[in-house]
Chain A
């Protein structure tokens, strides 16, 4: 009888150890917040790592090291792919990068391709998010981003003035403090894809105000306004020379 109890105790301890190990894993991953379509979803209210990272003092040297993971797809220059497969990151506002990165790894923004690279075991915690965001902001931007067909730019300009300026700015420069992304010089095909996903509710961390704002846009309107946006030239001091290669990764 005694032996049985001893054996049982051992078995119970072993089982307890197993379940603890099983629980420890997901704890390392940031928790998902409320999403577009959920009751009481509020844009930018998920807090968590975003709040933490934006108050940390960034270390550019570590930002470079973290960025090495990103460079596989977004390229060492942060210029992305002109066909829009991967967006340009260079010159983007730090708070925008922090929010999107925190959202992607908390599964608030679905991005299956990028997801594993965004996880803490790949790039580190909130400090690393702050570091890489600061590094990305300093990268000079692509002088030749992917653009649209160029056939309806006047119409696109008018639509932009009437609908987008209020948040994204006269020049598509966005607003760091408000987490509004810089749009100028972003690849046309990437803009088209994200815009479509925002319109359909597929981008679940989207701003409901924007979802509403663009519901009435026809395909022709969409193409025209995003073509116009992709062709806005960022300020000269933010653009890199043609063919520039990032010496940090040579």
Chain B
């Protein structure tokens, strides 16, 4: 009976762990500091250390988990991913990634309105960016697609360029790569400037 009781208790502990998923938001916050993420992405996850680093606050959790997994696995290997992010992610488990992503997503929502007179606005619409990332970059149609509104301008340019040249070629970049020839470098800079200033 005692054995049975402790078995039941052990099962409860496991089930309790599953049921308590929402409480992981707290763990995610601690992890964000403990794993050193704040150093580059900022205490509030939206004040990156330098231009070219992404803001993370409010981003889609599923998107972020996929990025962390792919960087750790060496599949996303453009820009700072292999040398800066990968060594840090080596020490982060998938459960921790999920907790981090849930915490960061909870810092949203990413909302706002773009400047309709900005030349990048029209390009954002005619180059088909809007179809997937939604109005002013605030409504990605899939949880696996990123918000773009308010993102760091240099980061947007770097990523879109790397996707265009297949330097970044993992995961769902294959849905974006085929349309990138529609956009010149100058047009991309305008689109990025428009998106970075969505407030």
Contacts and interface: CB of A to CB of B under 8 A. Distances in A.
A122 B141 contact: yes
B131 A112 contact: no
A6 B8 CA distance: 11
A45 interface: no
Interface in A1-55: 1, 4-5, 7-8, 11-12, 14-15, 18
Contacts of B88: none
B131 A15 contact: no
Contacts of B179: 73, 85, 113
A85 B11 CA distance: 55
Contacts of B132: 116
Nearest to B144: A116
B142 A116 contact: yes
Given A5-B8, A112-B172, A115-B175, 17 more contacts: A4-B12, A7-B12, A8-B11, A11-B15, A11-B16, A11-B19, A12-B15, A14-B19, A72-B130, A85-B182, A113-B175, A113-B176, A113-B178, A113-B179, A116-B141, A116-B145, A116-B175
A18 B21 CA distance: 11
A115 B128 CA distance: 15
Nearest to A115: B175
A117 interface: yes
Interface of B: 5, 8-9, 11-12, 15-16, 18-19, 128, 130-132, 141-142, 145, 172, 174-176, 178-179, 181-182
A100 B172 CA distance: 21
A14 B15 CA distance: 9
A12 B19 CA distance: 10
Given A85-B182, A117-B131, A122-B141, A112 B15 contact: no
B11 A73 contact: no
B12 A8 contact: yes
A11 B12 contact: yes
A23 B142 CA distance: 18
Contacts of A11: 12, 15-16, 19
Interface string A111-139: 01101110000100000000000000000
A72 B131 CA distance: 6
Contacts of A85: 178-179, 181-182
Nearest to B140: A116
Contact of A8 (B15, B172, B174): B15
A113 B129 CA distance: 11
A146 B156 CA distance: 31
Contacts of B176: 113
B133 to A, nearest CB: 11
A112 B172 CA distance: 7
Contacts of A73: 128, 131, 179
